[in-house]
Every structure is written in structure tokens, then in C-alpha cells.
């Protein structure tokens, strides 16, 4: 194509072809579509009545990625589907009450007695207010409004307090409801608490962790976790009443020595059932140290409805426990 000369003698650009016009047009349309989508999403986030459908979509995507199947959130059958249904629909005021690690202590004391509670050394709204010198040489520092926010201090003398304050402030800034959509964490007051550090009888010093799956006030399943946080960590499922192992549920020990639950563990199922009697389901975590039980926490949404079972059989088995089929 020959160039076109303007009267001034300057050479002009050749005429635009169809492809030259289409590319910028497509880019403009795509940009407009993206802008409209972003604006609609921001508008939806500001409308409370859209919380549930938005949470359902996000939860479905997360479960699909983790579990490999599309969950049925209207008619749950598997355990993970039941947990998801609870996240989206169960609005019992007891859920946030027992999710908060501070207010849960009052609930447990009323249900099972204060002897079950690990000694408390303080509650603070700000990390800068922690009186480090007044705390014992060993303690557990936790955030009350979330999960996996724990600092186990085994020797206060070597604790880097500035680093601990920085970590605590990061915890206080987190909002698990915004991250996971789990209703029980919505509007919980960010706080810190320090409890005594409970030492276990095993060589690792970590107490045996008994997690009871309580359905409608009855402990139906137990998973025992040993040596958490060490290379020997492992778990196994048992029947709560007679402590019979359930190999088909998966899990196992990494340590070389076989494990037999102590006789004192038989009394824990009754405690767990009492603590879970106000819910259709809750996981009750108890510790055993020196033959004495201690309260750990109440968990309403295990793994955010994304437990990776060995197969669908286990997922369905626990779902049938929830629904009363077995």
C-alpha cells in the first residue's frame, strides 16, 4: 500500500484495517466488563442479605479444590457437607459464645465444672499490655478470636518479647470471618489470653489430645493425637466408650512404640457428651496429663468443611452419624 502525502508534504499513516480496529475495541469491551464486574462485586459485599449466597459460592469453590467433589449444601450427606451447612445456616448464639476462647471458659465451667479449665493468667486487648514479668516461666499465649494462634512458651527467659508482641498484634488484626466465612467467628472481640502450659506424660512433653466428635449430646467418635508439633506426631480413631481402634478411619503413629489409651480416657467421653449436648454437632477437645482431664476447645467447623479423609467412605460414615442414619 502506497503512502498518502498531505499537502504539507508530510507522510500520513496508512488507513486502519478491520483487525486494527477490532483489537482495541475488544480490549475496551473487556475492560468495561471487568469494571462492571468489580463494581457489582463491591456493591454485593455491601449488602448483608447477599452474605449467605456469597459465602456459599466461596465455600463451594474451596471444598471442590480440597475434596475433589462438588458439595450438596442444601441436602448434606457427607460430614464435610454437614459442616458446610452449619457454617451457612446454624445461627445459635451458643456457637460464637463457645468459639471465643474467653467466653467458652464460662460455658465449660457451668457445664462440667471449673476444675476442667486450665489456669488462666490474664486477658488483654493489646499485646503491649501483657505483663511479661508477672507471667510464669512456662505458659501458653493464645488469641481468643481465631484458630492456630498459639505461642507455647517453655522458657520465658529466652523469649524474644518484641517478636512475641509483633506476632500478637498480627493475630489481633486477623478476622477469620472475613477469611473463611465461618459465622461463629463473626464480630468476635480480638483478645489475647495466657494459660498455664500443661505438660504431658510422654517423652515429648506434649499432653495426649483427645478429640471427641459429639453428635446431639453423644460422643460417637474419638481421634487421639500424640506428640503434636514434633516429628513423632500421629493420630488414630477409636470408639469413645471402649477405646477400640478404628483402622478404616485412617491415621497412624509415626513413633516406634505402639500406643494404648490409658484407662482414664474412658471417663472423658462422658465429659465431652456433656459439653456437646447443646449442639447438633461439636468437636470437644480434651487433654489428659497426669491422669487429669483438661479442657482444650470446642470446634464447630473442623477444617472449615475441608477434611481430607482417606476416601469418601469415611466422609459419608461420619455424615451418617450426624444425620442419625447410624
Bridge partners (DSSP) of residue 221 are 213
Alpha carbon distance 76, 90 (integer Å): 14
**Structure confidence at residue 1 (pLDDT):** 46
Mean pLDDT for all residues in the chain:
89
Arithmetic mean of pLDDT, 287-301: 95
Does the pLDDT value for residue 48 go beyond 60?
A: no
Burial (CB count within 10 angstroms: exposed 0-12, middle 13-18, buried 19+), residue 104: buried
51-67 and 79-89 helices cross at what angle (nearest 10)? 160
145-167: per-residue pLDDT in tens? 999 999 999 999 999 999 999 99
Arithmetic mean of pLDDT, 24-30: 74
Does the pLDDT value for residue 286 go beyond 60?
A: yes
95-114: per-residue pLDDT in tens? 999 999 999 999 999 999 99
- H or E stretch covering 308: none
Whole-prediction pTM? 0.84
In the block, cell 512456662 appears at 138
Amino acid at each position: 500500500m502506497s503512502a498518502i502525502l498531505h499537502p504539507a508534504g508530510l507522510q500520513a499513516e496508512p488507513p486502519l484495517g478491520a483487525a486494527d480496529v477490532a483489537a482495541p475495541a475488544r480490549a475496551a469491551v473487556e475492560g468495561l466488563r471487568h469494571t462492571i464486574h468489580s463494581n457489582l462485586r463491591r456493591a454485593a459485599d455491601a449488602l448483608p442479605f447477599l452474605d449467605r449466597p456469597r459465602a456459599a459460592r466461596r465455600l463451594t469453590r474451596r471444598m471442590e479444590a480440597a475434596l475433589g467433589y462438588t458439595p450438596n449444601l442444601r441436602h448434606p450427606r457427607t460430614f464435610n457437607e454437614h459442616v458446610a451447612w452449619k457454617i451457612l445456616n446454624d445461627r445459635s448464639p451458643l456457637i460464637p459464645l463457645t468459639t471465643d476462647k474467653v467466653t467458652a471458659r464460662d460455658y465449660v465451667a457451668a457445664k462440667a465444672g471449673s476444675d476442667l479449665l486450665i489456669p488462666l493468667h490474664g486477658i488483654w486487648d493489646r499485646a503491649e499490655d501483657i505483663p511479661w514479668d508477672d507471667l510464669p516461666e512456662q505458659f501458653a499465649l493464645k488469641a481468643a478470636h481465631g484458630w492456630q494462634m498459639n505461642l507455647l512458651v517453655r522458657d520465658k527467659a529466652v523469649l524474644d518479647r518484641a517478636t512475641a508482641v509483633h506476632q500478637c498484634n498480627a493475630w489481633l488484626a486477623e478476622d477469620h470471618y472475613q477469611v473463611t466465612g465461618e459465622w461463629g467467628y463473626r464480630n468476635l472481640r480480638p483478645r489475647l489470653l495466657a494459660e498455664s502450659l500443661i505438660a504431658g506424660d510422654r517423652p515429648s512433653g506434649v499432653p495426649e489430645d483427645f478429640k471427641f466428635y459429639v453428635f446431639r449430646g453423644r460422643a460417637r467418635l474419638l481421634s487421639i493425637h500424640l506428640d503434636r508439633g514434633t516429628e513423632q506426631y500421629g493420630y488414630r480413631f477409636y470408639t469413645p466408650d471402649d477405646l477400640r481402634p478404628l483402622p478404616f478411619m485412617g491415621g497412624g503413629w509415626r513413633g516406634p512404640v505402639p500406643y494404648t489409651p490409658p484407662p482414664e480416657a474412658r471417663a472423658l467421653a462422658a465429659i465431652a457428651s456433656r459439653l456437646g449436648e447443646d449442639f447438633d454437632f461439636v468437636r470437644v477437645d480434651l487433654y489428659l496429663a497426669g491422669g487429669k482431664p483438661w479442657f482444650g476447645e470446642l470446634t464447630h467447623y473442623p477444617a472449615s468443611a475441608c477434611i481430607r479423609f482417606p476416601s469418601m467412605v469415611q466422609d459419608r460414615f461420619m455424615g451418617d452419624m450426624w444425620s442419625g442414619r447410624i
